[in-house]
Structure formats: structure tokens, C-alpha cells
Structure 1
């Protein structure tokens, strides 16, 4: 009887450990986009608004194609002659990163620690080079 109880307990503990291993998520890794379309660009713009606020940003068709990082600078207000109003600004650029975890593309804002899942975008892991 004790042997059967010990065996049952061991099997149950083993099953719980295996289930726990499957429930863990992979650590997000740097990624880059494998495709760009107006629909994907709109999804990226909406994710950026969700992460940092503000209005829709202008994105190049090559955003996240060659790098997992994107720096966004605030627009400089200009007068009718094209000169900056109130001189130069000193606001730092905003860093966003494209990541992949469990075959899911994520747009991440490292400064806040927040990320948004991208459902329409396809990405692949990107080799990160150290400079």
C-alpha cells in the first residue's frame, strides 16, 4: 500500500514538473520583419501609439527590416521659412525593439518594460552584433 502511494505521488509530481516546463515562455529575442505591407505598417503604428502615446508616426517601408531597433525622434516644429521654432529641442530619441518569443512578434519599449504582440507581422530571429 505504501509502495503504491509512493509511486502515485512520484508520478503525479513528475507530471506536474513536465506540465510546468511546457507552460514557461521563451525569453524574447531580437528579431526583424520579413515582410512589410500597409496593413503591417498600420499595426506597427498602432502598437507604437499604445506603447509611447502621441499620434501616428511616419515609418519607412524598411522599418525593422535590417535591425531589431528603431529610434523615434520627436518632430521639430518649424516656422513658414522652415526654421526651427524655439530653437533645437533636447528630447532624446525613443528606442523601440522588435522581438520574437514563442514564434510571436512583439514590439517592445525597453524604457517602460512594456511590449505589444503583433498579430499580422511576420518576423524572424535576428543576429545581434556587438559594436
Structure 2
């Protein structure tokens, strides 16, 4: 009986280890952003930021797994910043590598999208 429990516990530990290794990890792109990938990234980001268009650099996600986009300052009818609206947090996006491929994620909402036009590699731990 003890032997069965030991085997069962070992099996559970092995399976949980496999699940941990399959979790999505921070990543960087292997190649420069082409038009198709830029469109996929822009579509996801634009949806998250409420329809405001964004301009992405050609080397986005090449050096870092994170991208921060500042929120547009709300203005009054005269074009002056609204009081109390100057400390809006930036939107944070993370590039992840999973068993499915490269994903872009917005951690605050939990939304993510598979980037079919991307090739990425796991970012070494010491570069985060």
C-alpha cells in the first residue's frame, strides 16, 4: 500500500513538473517585425487601448519582453489637460512563448492573442 502511495505521489510530482515547464514564458522576437506581424500587434493593442491607434517601432519586442504604452492625456474643449488626469498608468503588454507559439498578453485584463506571424525565443531569466 505504501508503495502505491509513493508511486502515485511521484507520478503527481512528475506531471505537475511537466505542466510548469509548459507555462508561457517571457520572450523576444527572433526577427524584425514585418507588415503582417505589425498588423497583428497593432490590432490587439488598439483593441486594449480603446480604439486609439498606435505606432510601433520595427524593433518592438526584439530586446525586451515588455512594452509600455502611455495613455493619451484627456483634454478639455480648449486642448488643456484635464485636472487630476496627469497620472494615468501606462498600458503594459508582454510577449510570451508557449507551446502554442508566440503570444502577446495584456496582464491587467488577462487578454492574449496568438501571433501567427511571429517567431520568438524565451528570454533568459537574468535579462528581465
Tell me whether the two structures share a fold, i.e. TM-score over 0.5.
Answer: yes
Number of residue pairs matched? 106
Deviation at 1:41, TM superposition (A): 0.8
Selected match of 1:69 from 61, 66, 71: 66
* Contact 2:73/2:81 (8 A) holds in 1: no
Q: Secondary structure at the match of 1:43?
A: helix
Unaligned runs of 5+ in 2: 1-10
Q: Secondary structure at the match of 1:129?
A: helix
Selected match of 1:96 from 93, 97, 100: 93
Equivalent runs, 1:38-57 vs 2, <5 Å:
38-57=35-54
Query: In the alignment, does 2:11 pair up with 1:27?
Result: no
> Taking structure 1 as reference, are residues 90 and 46 closer, same or farther at Cα in structure 2, changes over 3 Å only?
same
Q: Secondary structure at the match of 1:116?
A: strand
Give RMSD over aligned pairs: 2.8
Deviation at 1:92, TM superposition (A): 0.6
TM-score by length of 1: 0.68
Higher Rg: 1
Q: Secondary structure at the match of 2:37?
A: helix
Deviation at 1:102, TM superposition (A): 0.6
Q: Secondary structure at the match of 1:59?
A: coil
TM-score by length of 2: 0.69
Q: Secondary structure at the match of 1:105?
A: strand
Unaligned runs of 5+ in 1: 1-16, 79-83
> Taking structure 1 as reference, are residues 60 and 38 closer, same or farther at Cα in structure 2, changes over 3 Å only?
same
* Contact 2:22/2:99 (8 A) holds in 1: yes
